[in-house]
Structure 1
Amino acid sequence: MLNGRDHRIDFFRGLALIFIFWDHIPHNPLAELTVRNFGFSDAAEIFVFLAGYAAVLAYGKIAQRDGFLVASVKILRRAWVLYVVHIFLLAVLMGIVFFANSHVETRDLVQEMGLQYFLSNPQQALTDELLLRFKPNLMDPLPLYIVLLLGLPLALPMLLRNARYVVGVSLVLYLLAPVWNLAAQEGGVWFFNPMAWQFLFILGGAAAIHGQRAKAPETRPLSRQPLFVGAAAYLLITGLLALSWKWPQVHDAIMPLWLGEHLYPISKTNLSPVRLLHFLALAYVAARLIPHSGWLNNWFARQTRRMGRYSLEVFCLGVILAPLADMLNALGGDGLVMQLFSALMGVGIMAVLAGWLDWNKRLGKPVKVPAAP
């Protein structure tokens, strides 16, 4: 039987939302602190993996309690809500970008955000929007999540019975990803290829099921566990390599030519194996080093957990705030103080929204009246 909510999942989902917001603001100095600067993967992998983890944990519990039909209906209803939110969010984003572009004279924000297609061909763009083919910058994760949720009812029954078979089929689809992607506007393809990223989503679901099973505790120290040592070594090597990208001369000195020819380009669209391996190593090391409780009760962890708990609403707000922060920075001359202010203020607003949603949810709960003696 699947158990209740894991607060660590909420925390890291909230942290991924902060990283995504910072990464979406051009020239943001705080983006230098996000995970993408210290390895091959970034916050997108964290978000998709934990989305699979949370979805299987939540809907698997419903399937075990009420049956797979009820769970499937709830999954499809959630996918429909996400679809409606996607349409509405894109309309709001376009309005904000057009407004910001009218106030920023030094840059073409419409072009940078990938909205020129809408101005040149509005009728086709609206059709593509309904078909999830029109995805300007910042809008790619939501259509991906919709497609992944639509496939979950097919995978959930077997995931709960024998997750290994589902992971095997998912792996085959992942290997086919470079030759199979969905169409996007103007003859393009999806930036996040669902054929590739579904594997990470399924791995998250399988990890949720595996984590619920009772396991004998590992008694050996971490330094004597080959898997942990190998994962930590891979993180160290890829972290140093990623840092060297900031200094091309250093990178050329430490990177053998033959290795660079096989390593690059590191595809995010098709979730390159070295990206996938980096995230899995990061998740494994973090799971082994980070304790389950205690630290989750400090103030920052509580705010971040709350943001992760309402990830859809907070993500949508971050999409809206990113171009506004970019406009504010441009109007302020792209000074360091303004850049820090806009990045931190955006996170503060996202935290306030999560706090309000949490308060509103608790307000709607019925009060439990104690039974009369």
Structure 2
Amino acid sequence: MMTTGRDHRIDFFRGLALIFIFWDHIPHNPLAELTVRNFGFSDAAEIFVFLAGYAAVLAYGKIAQRDGFVRAGIKILRRAWVLYVVHIFLLAVLMGIVFFANSHVETRDLVQEMGLQYFLSNPQQALTDELLLRFKPNLMDPLPLYILLLLGLPLVLPLLLRGCAVVVGVSFLVYLTAPYWNLAAQEGGVWFFNPLAWQFLFVLGGAASLWAQRDKAPDLRPLTRQPMFIGAALYLLLTGLLALSWKWPQVHDAIIPLWLGEQLYPISKTNLSPVRLLHFLALAYVAAKLVPHSHWLNLWVARQTCRMGRYSLEVFCLGVVLAPLADMLNALGGDTLAIKLISAVLGVGMMAVLAAWLDWNKQLNATAQ
């Protein structure tokens, strides 16, 4: 039997991931020191992709069960087309903003830092690569990945609903091949987010949404008597201490033996290194156990964050264009701490305002109907 209640924690963590992504994309932003990437091996990208899979299977799975797989597949492909159009438009807007910011910042080459020099040196090929999802300057990588994952969902969704474990197993085997394959990007490069690796996290998110809808007897044992929770918490503690030691190389070299460092590094984000994947899964499991369904979600800050999570595409796109503007504001303001804090908080405020406006507009349209 399936439950249908909405888990607002999912919206909250999607919104939180969007805030973290925005802060992480502003160079030298002091608030970026508070994001999840500083306390372990994974970062907000894993949260974003996992919850994208969770939300997609939750939404389109219900459509498939109610209206059939064909109708669900058409809706998924329509959504992928919208994202493709948004990607092209967003890239054009981003380039315009970066070129504008670069003309006002004399101390740095923002065009080079954002990976847009390729467009200036070879505009015709860059436009072609943009249409083929191969031209991905900084900040633009998550959207092409999501488009590609959605394009595969009409094939995966029926199998996932009928044999979840089999699909997860096949997806894992594909993940294991990721270090040997990737898609081409501009100038002979490859995708920063290798789809063969990150599809596994997307599928795991979808599988988690199906698992969460089942009626299950809760584990009433204290957390200290649940071996999986203890193992996940210990892994988070150890990797968190290790990540903190990166800020002090001498401390890191003292506590990490050479042989262990050779086995551990590099921790690939492109191919979703197993230690990154395991860190995120441990983080998600511990959060699911520790963060309750309770009245804290009714707090004003939590409600704004949840709202951003419900309109993740629009808020993400706004964050992409706000990040270089915040960088420009910081540079023009002398990179003072006050200016950096103002730009980071102001950007999040604008993202929250956009989500509030979209929510109000949606309610207005529902009332009109």
Q: Which residue of 2 aligns with 1:292?
A: 293
> Do 1:52 and 1:205's aligned partners in 2 also have CA atoms closer than 8 Å?
yes
Which amino acid is the alignment partner of residue 303 of structure 2? R
> Do 2:3 and 2:215's aligned partners in 1 also have CA atoms closer than 8 Å?
no
> Do 2:179 and 2:271's aligned partners in 1 also have CA atoms closer than 8 Å?
yes
> Do 2:93 and 2:321's aligned partners in 1 also have CA atoms closer than 8 Å?
yes
Mapped to 1, the partners of 2:337 and 2:367 lie a distance apart of 48
Q: Which residue of 1 aligns with 2:162?
A: 161
Within 5 Å, which residues of 2 pair with 1:163-242?
163-242=164-243
Mapped to 2, the partners of 1:52 and 1:20 lie a distance apart of 18
Q: Which residue of 1 aligns with 2:118?
A: 117
Mapped to 2, the partners of 1:22 and 1:79 lie a distance apart of 27
Structure 1 runs of 4+ with >6 Å offset: none
Tell me: CA distance 1:136–1:367, structure 2 relative to 1, closer, same or farther (3 Å): closer
Within 5 Å, which residues of 2 pair with 1:299-314?
299-314=300-315
Deviation, 1:162, is 1.6
Q: Which residue of 2 aligns with 1:260?
A: 261
Which amino acid is the alignment partner of residue 170 of structure 1? S
Mapped to 2, the partners of 1:332 and 1:217 lie a distance apart of 53
Mapped to 2, the partners of 1:111 and 1:197 lie a distance apart of 27
Number of equivalent positions: 368
> Do 1:2 and 1:57's aligned partners in 2 also have CA atoms closer than 8 Å?
no
Which amino acid is the alignment partner of residue 89 of structure 2? F
> Do 1:41 and 1:279's aligned partners in 2 also have CA atoms closer than 8 Å?
yes
Structure 1 residues 328-359: Cα deviation after superposition (integer angstroms, max 9, x where no partner): 00000000000000000000000000000000
Structure 1 residues 209-239: Cα deviation after superposition (integer angstroms, max 9, x where no partner): 0011111111211111110000000000000
Mapped to 2, the partners of 1:297 and 1:2 lie a distance apart of 22
Deviation, 1:178, is 0.4
Q: Which residue of 2 aligns with 1:371?
A: none
Segment drifting more, 101-110 vs 357-366: 357-366
Deviation, 1:367, is 5.8
Q: Which residue of 2 aligns with 1:19?
A: 20
Structure 1 residues 269-311: Cα deviation after superposition (integer angstroms, max 9, x where no partner): 0000000000000000000011012111100000000000000
Q: Which residue of 1 aligns with 2:283?
A: 282
Segment drifting more, 296-305 vs 5-14: 5-14
> Do 1:40 and 1:242's aligned partners in 2 also have CA atoms closer than 8 Å?
yes
Mapped to 2, the partners of 1:299 and 1:305 lie a distance apart of 10
Tell me: CA distance 1:90–1:59, structure 2 relative to 1, closer, same or farther (3 Å): same
Mapped to 2, the partners of 1:92 and 1:259 lie a distance apart of 45
Mapped to 2, the partners of 1:4 and 1:107 lie a distance apart of 50
Which amino acid is the alignment partner of residue 32 of structure 2? A
Q: Which residue of 1 aligns with 2:360?
A: 359
3-state SS in 1 of match to 2:271: coil
Mapped to 2, the partners of 1:346 and 1:205 lie a distance apart of 30
Q: Which residue of 2 aligns with 1:39?
A: 40
Structure 1 residues 181-210: Cα deviation after superposition (integer angstroms, max 9, x where no partner): 000000000000000000000000000000
Deviation, 1:153, is 0.7
Mapped to 2, the partners of 1:81 and 1:267 lie a distance apart of 30
Mapped to 1, the partners of 2:218 and 2:365 lie a distance apart of 41
> Do 2:87 and 2:144's aligned partners in 1 also have CA atoms closer than 8 Å?
yes
Mapped to 2, the partners of 1:80 and 1:217 lie a distance apart of 40
Where does structure 1 lack aligned partners over 5 or more consecutive residues? 369-373
Q: Which residue of 1 aligns with 2:90?
A: 89
> Do 1:23 and 1:34's aligned partners in 2 also have CA atoms closer than 8 Å?
yes
Instruction: Quote the RMSD (CA, aligned, Å).
Output: 0.9
> Do 1:2 and 1:209's aligned partners in 2 also have CA atoms closer than 8 Å?
no
> Do 2:22 and 2:320's aligned partners in 1 also have CA atoms closer than 8 Å?
yes
Mapped to 2, the partners of 1:216 and 1:273 lie a distance apart of 31
Deviation, 1:4, is 4.7
Q: Which residue of 2 aligns with 1:152?
A: 153
Mapped to 2, the partners of 1:27 and 1:180 lie a distance apart of 33
Which amino acid is the alignment partner of residue 246 of structure 1? K
> Do 1:3 and 1:61's aligned partners in 2 also have CA atoms closer than 8 Å?
no
3-state SS in 1 of match to 2:350: helix
Mapped to 2, the partners of 1:168 and 1:155 lie a distance apart of 13
3-state SS in 2 of match to 1:139: coil
Mapped to 1, the partners of 2:6 and 2:214 lie a distance apart of 15
Q: Which residue of 1 aligns with 2:341?
A: 340
Where does structure 2 lack aligned partners over 5 or more consecutive residues? none
Which amino acid is the alignment partner of residue 295 of structure 2? G
Mapped to 1, the partners of 2:146 and 2:254 lie a distance apart of 40
Tell me: CA distance 1:126–1:367, structure 2 relative to 1, closer, same or farther (3 Å): closer
Tell me: CA distance 1:121–1:10, structure 2 relative to 1, closer, same or farther (3 Å): same
> Do 1:20 and 1:43's aligned partners in 2 also have CA atoms closer than 8 Å?
yes
Q: Which residue of 2 aligns with 1:323?
A: 324
Mapped to 1, the partners of 2:215 and 2:270 lie a distance apart of 36
Deviation, 1:6, is 2.1
Q: Which residue of 1 aligns with 2:351?
A: 350
Mapped to 1, the partners of 2:105 and 2:7 lie a distance apart of 44
Q: Which residue of 2 aligns with 1:28?
A: 29
